Structure 1
Amino acid sequence: MKMTFRWYGENNDSVTLEQIKQIPGVEGLVWALHDLPAGEVWPVEKIMEVKRQADEYGFHLDVVESVNVHEDIKLGLPSRDQYIENYKQTIANLAEVNVKVICYNFMPVFDWTRTDMYKEMGDGSTALFYEKSKVDSMDPQELIRQTTSNSAFTMPGWEPERLAGIEKSFELYKGMTEDNLWDNLQYFLEQILPVCEQHDIKMAIHPDDPPWSVFGLPRIITSEKNVERLLSLSDSPAHNITLCSGSLGANPANDVPKIIRRFHDRIPFAHIRNVKIYENGDFIETSHRSQDGSVDIADVVKAYNENDFTGYARPDHGRHIWNEECRPGYGLYDRALGIMHLWGLWDAYEKVKSEGRK
Structure 2
Amino acid sequence: MKMVFRWYGEGNDTVSLQQIKQIPGVEGIVWALHDVPAGEEWPMDKIMAYKQLADQYGLHLEVVESVNVHEDIKLGLPTRDLYIENYKKTIEKLASVGVKTICYNFMPVFDWIRTDLFKELEDGSTALFYEKAKVDQMDPEELVRKIADTPDFTMPGWEPERLKKLSPLFEAYKNVSEDDLWNNLQYFLERVIPVAEQHDIRMAIHPDDPPWSIFGLPRLMTSQDNFRKLLKLVDSPSNGITLCSGSLGANPKNDIPSMVREFADRIPFAHIRNIRVYDNGDFIETSHRACDGTVDIVEIVKAYHESGFTGYARPDHGRHIWNEQCRPGYGLYDRALGIMYLWGIWDSLEQAKKRGN
Q: Is residue 2:198 matched to residue 1:220?
A: no
Equivalent position SS for 2:280: coil
Cα displacement (A) at 1:151:
4.3
Q: Write the distance in 1 (CA, Å) between the matches of 2:238 and 2:259.
A: 19
- In structure 2, distance between residues paired with 1:83 and 1:150: 29
Query: Using the alignment, how far apart are the partners of 1:61 and 1:47 within structure 2?
Result: 10
**What do residues 202-240 of structure 1 show as CA deviations (whole Å, max 9, x unaligned)?**
000000000000111000000011111111111112100
Residue number in structure 2 paired with 1:51: 51
Is the Cα–Cα contact under 8 Å of residues 151 and 327 in structure 1 kept in the other structure?
no
| Whole-angstrom CA distance in 1 between matches of 2:195 and 2:114 | 35
Name the residue aligned to 2:255: 255
* SS of residue in 2 equivalent to 1:118: strand
Q: For residues 150 and 77 of structure 1, what CA distance do their matches in structure 2 show?
A: 32
How far 1:150 moved relative to its partner?
2.8
User: What is the match of residue 204 of structure 2?
Assistant: 204
Matched residue, 1:102: 102
How far does residue 147 in structure 1 lie from its aligned partner after superposition?
A: 1.0
Matches within 5 A, 1:174-253: 174-253=174-253
8 Å CA contact 1:270–1:311 kept in 2: the answer is yes
Distance 2:151 2:219 in 1: 27
Letter in 1 for 2:345: L
**Aligned equivalents of 1:148, 1:252: Cα separation in 2:** 30
Q: What per-residue deviation string (whole Å, max 9, x for no partner) do you get for residues 160-196 of structure 1?
A: 1121111110000002111100000000000111110
Question: Partners of 2:343 and 2:237 in 1: how far apart?
Answer: 28
Amino acid at match of 1:52: Q
The residue that corresponds to 1:351 in the other structure is 351
Question: In the alignment, is residue 88 of structure 1 matched against residue 88 of structure 2?
Answer: yes
8 Å Cα contact 1:269/1:311 also seen in 2: yes
Q: Counterparts in 2 of 1:65-144, with a 5 A limit?
A: 65-144=65-144
Q: Secondary structure at the match of 2:271?
A: strand
| SS in structure 1 of the partner of residue 324 of structure 2 | coil
Q: Distance in 2 between matches of 1:195 and 1:225?
A: 27
Percent sequence identity over aligned pairs: 72
Residue identity opposite 2:306 in structure 1: E
Counting matched residue pairs gives 357
Q: Which amino acid aligns with 1:179?
A: D
Q: Distance in 1 between matches of 2:253 and 2:123?
A: 28
TM-score of the superposed pair, with normalisation by structure 2: 0.99
Is 1:284 the counterpart of 2:306 in the alignment? no
1:33-44 matches, within 5 Å, as 33-44=33-44
Q: Which amino acid aligns with 2:179?
A: D
For 2:355 and 2:306, locate their aligned partners in 1 and report how far apart those are by CA, in whole Å.
Answer: 14
Q: Hey, what's the Cα distance between the residues in 2 that align with 1:105 and 1:248?
A: 14
- TM-score, scaled relative to structure 1: 0.99
The residue type equivalent to 1:156 in the other structure is P
In structure 1, C-alpha distance between the alignment counterparts of 2:201 and 2:179, rounded to whole Å: 27
AA paired with 2:210? P
Secondary structure, in 3 states, of the residue corresponding to 2:37? coil
3-state SS of paired residue (2:303): helix
Q: Which amino acid aligns with 2:192?
A: I
**1:250-329 matched pairs, under 5 angstroms:** 250-329=250-329
Give the Cα separation in 1 of the matches to 2:197 and 2:176: 31
CA distance in 1, matches of 2:302, 2:84: 38
Deviation at 1:148, TM superposition (A): 1.5
Amino acid at match of 1:206: H
How far did residue 356 of structure 1 move? 0.6
Distance across 2 between alignment mates of 1:256 and 1:311: 17
- The whole-number CA distance in structure 1 between the counterparts of 2:6 and 2:148 is 20
Hey, what's the Cα distance between the residues in 2 that align with 1:122 and 1:329?
Answer: 17
Runs of 4+ in 1 over 2 A off after TM superposition: none
3-state DSSP of counterpart to 2:128: strand
- The CA distance in 2 between the partners of 1:193 and 1:308, in whole Å, is 25
The one-letter amino acid of 1:13's match is D
Preserved contact between residue 62 and residue 101 of structure 1 (Cα < 8 Å) = yes
In structure 1, what is the Cα distance between the partners aligned to 2:149 and 2:55? 34
Q: Which runs of 5+ in 2 are unaligned?
A: none
Q: For residues 336 and 346 of structure 2, what CA distance do their matches in structure 1 show?
A: 15
Q: Distance in 2 between matches of 1:189 and 1:173?
A: 20
